[in-house]
Every structure is written in C-alpha cells, then in structure tokens.
Amino acid sequence: MLYKQLLSAERQREVEQTDSMFPGDYIYFTGRTDNVFTFNLHRMDGSPDIIKTYTWPGSQN
C-alpha cells in the first residue's frame, strides 16, 4: 500500500484499474538510509522521473 503514500489521488485510481492499459505503478526502490526509503516514480509520458522519499514511522534503532 506504499503507492498510496507516494502517488497522487489521480495516479492511485489509474493503478487500481484492472484494465491492461494500466499495468503497474512504476515505483522503483532506489535506496535506504536509516528509516528513510527513496523511490523513483517513472513517468510514462517521457518526462523525467520523480524522486520521492518515505520515512518509516518509529525510532531509528
């Protein structure tokens, strides 16, 4: 369900379609530092990928 943290509401609706026109979310994990995860969101229109981070809740033990 990470896509709900990273994608816009419109893009979430597209991903949730069962139509073959929408084959996936195109979220690629690129790295981690402590509890911060980095992802590239690939854009199918040819424009540059968007880099997003997600901080996992909780302590950094």
pLDDT for 60: 55
Q: How confident is the model at residue 45 (pLDDT cuts 50, 70, 90)?
A: confident
Give me the chain's average pLDDT, please: 84
Average pLDDT over residues 2-28: 80
Whole-model pTM: value is 0.69
pLDDT for 51: 95
Reference 24, options 8, 49, 44, 45; nearest CA is: 44
Average pLDDT over residues 6-31: 81
